[in-house]
Copies of this chain bind each other. A is one copy, B any other.
Amino acid sequence: MYELLQKYISNRTQINDEQMDFICSFFKPMQTKRNEILVRYEEICQQYYFVNKGCIRIFTINKEGIETSRFFAFEGGFGTALPSFIDQQPAYEYVQTIEKSELLVISRTDFYYLVTTIPEFGLIYRAILELGFITAQKRIYGFQGFDALEKVKWIIENQPHFLLRVSNKMAASYLGISPSTLSRIKSKL
């Protein structure tokens, strides 16, 4: 149950078994269904999710009804409505498991308790933030001024499994192109 999480932590910092168990004790298992919503648009996010199995999607819907997906967390990754989790404002986005999933959940209170109490866990959080920031920058550079074909090539290059794992519709909403265009591009390789 906790192997993946332990691997995530021990890959990123030195920690003894006792502390590891202590940290893990704050994460509660949770089963979710396909398309289950974990955080709604108006809600304030109080939980951080680690994906043991399945997949989490973070997305929003604008006033015209257009969906934009901003992040997918697969097995072994963390995901949540982080801006809301951080500053406790309404999320203005959704957190959803797009497949039947098995998660490990920690409350915000416990999470920040660990961050401030256990320096090694503070480092983990810093690493999450640093990686999140770098990923976002790459995405900005990777998408801006690129045409649809270049975006698709970019995602194949940077996240090879992505197109195989998520639906056309969701992939398109991540890439910022229409499903038709994505479909046409894929048919031409």
Contact = CB atoms under 8 A, between A and B. Distances in A.
Interface stretch (A35-43, A95-103, A138-146, A179-187): A138-146
Interface residues of A, number: 29
Interface in A71-118: 82-83, 86-87, 92-93
A87 B140 contact: no
Contacts of A141: 60, 62, 68, 70, 92-93
Interface stretch (A3-11, A15-23, A128-136): A128-136
A153 interface: no
A130 B133 CA distance: 8
13 contacts: A60-B141, A70-B137, A70-B140, A70-B141, A83-B138, A87-B130, A92-B141, A122-B122, A126-B129, A129-B130, A133-B136, A136-B137, A143-B144
A37 to B, nearest CB: 18
Contacts of A93: 141
B136 A140 contact: yes
Interface string A38-76: 000000000000000000000010100010101000000
A144 B176 contact: yes
Contacts of A70: 137, 140-141
Contact of A133 (B68, B82, B143): B82
Contacts of A145: 62, 66, 68, 176
Nearest to A82: B133
B137 A140 contact: no
